[in-house]
Structures are given as structure tokens and as C-alpha cells.
A and B are shown apart, each in its own frame.
Chain A
């Protein structure tokens, strides 16, 4: 798992655009098929439960093993999410609102951990502390991997806040601590909830990082169950509990978010904020940011380089590495293109219409993409085995899984791009004699292209660094970078795994840069 974009609030269409939404048959059918497909994972869980029967289901769910997994998973979420909030918000405040030396240097450093997949981070820590295992190891590693999900949206929001509001609070008698907690923090609520949800969902779906340190969560257990019994009832029952946990997270976030929207009241461009003076706290603050940077970036980089040094020239099997890179690019490239192309009709419906269809699409997509990859993968395996045998372990099936898992990354970008093409431009084009399809190509597509390309890049890297669904669904003989990394590190040949990890990180760097730039740009608007 790498960089997922911060969840933005759905774009509100202008009242006039709502009135004109009439999706054509091609769009409607594509969207309907996609919605149907997004129902597969949830349908699998429900169907699994029903076919097992209530008594057996009860037996499978209420047992000590499930209790242990539940404790592990819930404890992991309850400890890690607040830690990420603390670190993410703290760093964002330091880099955006204080006179911390070298702020421009620190900002990209706190987004950079997104380029290191959590399982690679886990591998790095095992390299440093071989005895590391269990809950606290899980908390340490995932906190260091996922705090950027909090840092990115919070920093972007902080940059966007109107300093005049804070100045008014100062004028009304609040000190700088008071201003932060009474004025700034409440305005960060949406960013924190969004980031928190993202961290929580990643924790529920992470497999590689926890398997590496022998920490059993639901996802890890489901994977092991699948390897042992293939299509077992026990596995689908565990998946059911995991889905419920996931829905609980979504509900908690939705309830906590409520209907509040914080808009800046008044007009005029906000001025840049005057940074808070750190004074005597400068040294401790510098120490804190250095510790975070060393732990989250220093450790994986140092371990990777160390293994590469130890392995020397022997670990660089360029034929195998090249083959693996080629397969990864082929698979991730296909998935990226298919996902982005499919994102267009969905985004169009979301931006341009306000009917039942649009809301169904948003809802279905939201829930399915929040489901752990393992559930989606298991569902597709089951459906393929029972109904379309030839699809099992085929490229179309695994690409389908990637589409379901990573659609939001493409969608968020395409939708934002589409929302920035005012309807009036398309109408101007029509009035100038261009047909609807010509208008789409010459105006809409052209203006959406940069956003769509960004979305495709994000899907590409997400697929390249995906492990769980890939292990379950990849056709026999597939050797992607993450699969090769996994197979070498499972055999405890850490040196041989290092080149694959290195290439994975290198692949993810451009997209991480892209994410960082996007967050800066949002602030500039």
C-alpha cells in the first residue's frame, strides 16, 4: 500500500448543471455495470454467511481465535490512529505555522514515507531489530508508514485557513495555545477525520507488514486461512467480521463529520499567516522532527542500503529483475489505463448529475474501495471459481480487482478535473458548431487530461506496490516486483529481496512528489 490521495469533500455542482444532467446510454450502462461489480465483495460476504447457515456461522465467529484477532485489530486501530493524529497534526503545525528552521526542507520529508510500502518498512525494521514482533511492533511500523495520510490534508488545510480569523481570536484575548485549540483545531476537524479514516482503513487491510512481524490481524488470518483451506467457510466468516469493522469505521467517521462545512466567510484573498515564534522551543522542535524523519525514512533507507551492500553484486540478477519490472509495468499499466478510462463515466455522473444514480455510484464506490483488498480478492476468487472458471487466475480478473480497489484514486482526480471544466465551456463549444463528441475531445478531455494522468499514475503505483490481492489472484507464473520481494523475504533472504524493494520505492517516488505538489497547489487556490 502506498500513497492514497487525501479524501476530498465531494464537489458540489452548480444548480444549473444539476438541471441538465442526462447521461447517455453508454455512460449509464458502464456505470451500472461498475456499480453491479462493486456489489460483489459485499455480496460475497453476505452469501457466504447465508450459505454456511446461522448455527455454523455462529460457531465460526464466536471462538477464542476470533476474540484474539478482534483484540489485536481493534487495539491496533485504537492506538495507531490517535498516534498518527498527534504526529501528523503536530508536524503540520510546526512546518506550516511556526518559524521552525528549514520548513521547506521538512515538508517533502514528511510526505516521503508514502513512497515506502508498509511491508518494505516492516522488512526494514526486522532488519534493524530482528526480534521485533506483536502489537507494539505493528503500531510502531504502521504509525511511521501512515502518518503522512494525516500530515498531507492537515498541512493543506492549515495553509488554506484565513489568518485573519486567528488574528481576530488573538485580538479577543486568546494566547497562541488558546488560538490553536479554540480556533485552528476545530477547523482542522474534517481533515483529521478524513486522514484518520484513511489510516484506519489501511490498518484493517494491511497484510504484508504484519505477516512479516508475526502480528495476527483479521487480514493476516484470512490470508493464512485461504492458503490452508482455499475456499473455506472459516475464511469468509472472518472476512465478514472484518467487513463489519470496516463499516463501523466508516460510520464513526460519517457521524463525527456530521453535516458541518467550514467555509471562509467574507471575501478577498487570504494573506499569508504570520508564523508563530518558537523561541526557546526551537531546539526541542527540531529534535522532534529529526526523530520522526530518522525513524520513518532513515531506517528503511539505511536497511535497504545495508542489505544491498551486504548482498553485493550477487543479488542483482538483472534478468529476473528486468522480467519482474516488465511484468509489473505491464500489469500496473493496464490496470491504470482501464481504471482511468472507467473513471470518466463515473466522474461524469458524479459531477454532472444529482439523481439517484449519482448517489448510488458514490455510495457503492465509497464502501467497496474502503473494503480490505483481501475481501475483494476472496470475493472475486469465489465468483470466478463458481461461475466463470476460465477467469480464475487470469489477467482480466486481477485487473478487475485492481479497478475495484483503486477506482477512487483515479476517480478523485478525474472528478476534480471534470469539475474544473465549467459547463459553459462545453455549451460555448456546442454553440460554435461542435457536436457533443467533438466537444468532449476538443474541450472536456483536453482540459481533464492532466488530472486524469495524475490519477492514472496513482493507480499505477498503488497496483505496483499491492501485495495481498496480487498474491491471491495473479495468474500462475506472474512475478511482479512485490511478489518477488515477498517470496525472497519470506525465505528470510533479505539481501536478495533488497533490489526489488529498492525498485518499488524508486517507482513510487514520482507519484509521491506529485501528491506533495497537489497538496501545495490546493493551498494556492
Chain B
């Protein structure tokens, strides 16, 4: 559906995109996630046609829209674009905003279409007569989406569409948009700096750093089997411990953990949710038993700082707050599932 090959772009000798390859399946949602300034927005703007690439090609729906030599103008690309702040036209009503891209249709037809689209994005059709400044941030974002949908684009581009919203609104708007795009079967590309957003909304996640993808894959695979330490740490909290691998098990400060890796020394990576600290009876020094240094009560959860035996940094374990161990308690850290080893 969308095929990006060898895409490169520099601004004033600063390499922003360094030969990117990316494929989008028809009807799927892909999230490009990375820290600010990693080049993800530039990628989006190249696909939209607001910038032209230095090298590489972009193909949408079988036709090449951009290469170093030739670029199709943005208005001829059949893409939908939702900007960070919605970018609604302040001089037009909500209805006029949505109708902006609709061409060559009768008045009544356009009016029906506006109502239809407003309903699609879960807004009351009476919103059509309002001005953008009378809407909340989440409503503006949904109108922007309806406006982009009005042209029935083959590809929807979303540039940090939820980052301007406050936390509660963000989650709900995200849900609405995700299910809407999935139902409509529109291929979409979402750019975000929020890993949780990327993991929850996308079929495919591409992690970006300094103009390159460090890993592209399903949300589960990039989270559970990160290809490198950066990807692992970017996508969520992680615990790293030095270890030695032998016969499918890694030996480290908290005991033996099942891994899929070659034998030899390495760094073991675990997610905090894989760890559970269990109090052990105070019966002498046991292997793999640590001491609780601090207990931080957070309501639903409790954060335990545990000093494992040996020369290792304290480990933070987050678990539910029912009957937490007390300070100085001896605990054994149990690991659920497999770990990942980097050499």
C-alpha cells in the first residue's frame, strides 16, 4: 500500500532522515515513535508532500509520489493529514471546515455528508454551525479528523494528534480515533513520542532514533523482544543486570532466568511487570535473596527498592500494593516469562 525506500533528508547538513525503509499494509495502522527531534515528523511531512526528499522514493497505492527528482504536490496525493493542534481554519465554522475539501457536490449532499462525518467522529451534527474556538481540544481534534476523512483519502497521516490534549481526554480520543480508523479500513501512519500511545493504537510500531529505525514490528514483538537496549528502554521501564548465559538460562544477581540466547556473558533485560518480590522466612543467607531498602506507596501500586546480593545496583520492583513487604524484609525476586539478553 505504502512503500518507502531509502528515504533521506538533511537540513543544512544536519541529517534528519538516514535512508529509511518502511512498508504499510493496506488498512493497517502504523505508529512511528521516537524522542522529539528524531526525524519522525519530517518523515510524515515527506509523505504528505510538504517537504521533498534528498534521496529515496515514496510510493502510495502503486504510484510513486516522491523521489529526489520529482514530487507530486500535496494536494494531488489523496492523503488525509491531521496536525498536532488540529489546524482548523479559524474563519470557518465546523461544517465549513469539513466541507473544505469536498468538491463538486450539491448543497444538500454536502450537508448530509457533514452530519454523517460528525457522527462518525462521535460528535453531534449540531456542531456544524459552531466556530472552532467554541470547541474543546478533543472536539477540535475530532473535527480535524472528520475534515480529513471527508476526502476519502487512501492514506491518513496523524502528527502527534493527541499530544495537545490532557491525560483523560487523550485516552478517550485515542480510543475513538483508533476504532474509527480500523472500522473505516484506512491505512494510517501515526507519529508520536508517547510509547504507550504507539503500543496501544498500532498494528505495526517503528521505533526511531537519530533518523533511523532501530526496530519495526508488531507492538508485542518490539516490546517483548527489543532488538537493542535503546529500543527496550525507550518503549518502557526496564531492569538490566549483568549475567552469564548457559544452556538457555541466564545467571544473574536475582537468580536464574529463562532466555533465548547463545552462551556467554551478556546483559539481561527484564520488564518491571515480570518481577514479583516475595518475602522469604528469615532463615540465613540464601542465594538470590535481596533486602528491601525502601517502600513507596502509590495507591494502586507500591514501588520497592531492593538491594540484591552482590555488586549490583538496587532494583526497582513495581507490584500491587496489597500487603507489601516492610523495609529491611528479605525478599526473593521471582521472574515471570523470559528475559532478553544483549551481548
Contacts and interface: CB of A to CB of B under 8 A. Distances in A.
Contacts of B90: 447
B230 interface: no
A429 B96 CA distance: 12
A113 B103 CA distance: 52
A434 B48 CA distance: 13
Main secondary structure of the interface of A (DSSP, over half): helix
Interface string B114-148: 00000000000000000000000000000010011
A302 B74 CA distance: 63
Contacts of B77: 431
- Among B48, B80, B89, chain A packs the most CB atoms within 10 A around the CB of B89
Given A427-B81, A427-B87, A432 B73 contact: no
Contacts of B211: none
Contact of B89 (A19, A20, A425, A431): A425
B248 interface: no
B297 interface: no
Contacts, number: 65
A443 B89 contact: yes
A424 B101 contact: no
Contacts of B73: 430, 435-436
A433 B11 CA distance: 27
A517 interface: no
B147 A427 contact: no
Chain A: number of interface residues, binned into ranges: 20 to 34
Given A427-B87, A447-B90, A433 B50 contact: no
B7 to A, nearest CB: 17
B18 interface: no
Contact of B87 (A422, A434, A436, A439): A422
A428 B77 CA distance: 13
A21 to B, nearest CB: 12
A20 to B, nearest CB: 7
Contacts of B88: 428
Contacts of B76: 433
A439 to B, nearest CB: 8
Interface in A415-461: 422, 424-425, 427-436, 439, 442-443, 446-447
B151 A433 contact: yes
B99 to A, nearest CB: 10
A427 B50 contact: yes
A427 B103 contact: no
Nearest to B101: A432
Contact of A427 (B80, B83, B91, B101): B83
Contacts of A442: 100
B103 A433 contact: yes
B62 to A, nearest CB: 20
A439 B49 CA distance: 15
B151 A432 contact: yes
Contacts of A435: 73, 75
Contacts of A447: 89-91
B309 to A, nearest CB: 47
B55 interface: no
B210 interface: no
A500 B100 CA distance: 50
Given A427-B50, A427-B81, A427-B83, A433 B89 contact: no
B84 interface: yes
Contacts of A428: 81, 83, 87-89, 144, 147
B334 interface: no
Contacts of A425: 87, 89
Nearest to A438: B75
A20 B51 contact: yes
B49 A430 contact: yes
A434 B75 contact: yes
B85 interface: yes
B205 interface: no
A155 B148 CA distance: 44
Nearest to A422: B87
A429 B79 CA distance: 12
B91 A424 contact: no
A406 to B, nearest CB: 28
A434 B91 CA distance: 16
Interface string B56-83: 0000000000000000011111011101
B301 to A, nearest CB: 30
A427 B74 CA distance: 8
> Which of B51, B84, B87, B147 counts the most A-chain CB atoms under 10 A from its CB?
B87
Given A20-B50, A20-B51, A422-B87, A431 B81 contact: yes
Nearest to B150: A432
Contacts of A443: 89
Given A424-B84, A435-B73, A430 B89 contact: no
Contacts of B151: 432-433
A287 B17 CA distance: 68
A240 to B, nearest CB: 41
Nearest to A449: B91
24 contacts: A19-B11, A19-B51, A20-B50, A20-B51, A422-B87, A424-B84, A425-B87, A427-B74, A428-B87, A428-B88, A428-B89, A429-B100, A430-B49, A430-B50, A431-B79, A431-B80, A431-B81, A432-B75, A432-B101, A433-B76, A433-B101, A434-B101, A442-B100, A443-B89
Interface of A: 19-20, 422, 424-425, 427-436, 439, 442-443, 446-447
Interface of B: 11, 48-51, 73-77, 79-81, 83-85, 87-91, 100-101, 103, 144, 147-148, 150-151, 157
Shortest beta-carbon contacts, A-B, top 8: A432-B101, A431-B81, A430-B74, A424-B87, A428-B87, A424-B83, A433-B75, A430-B75
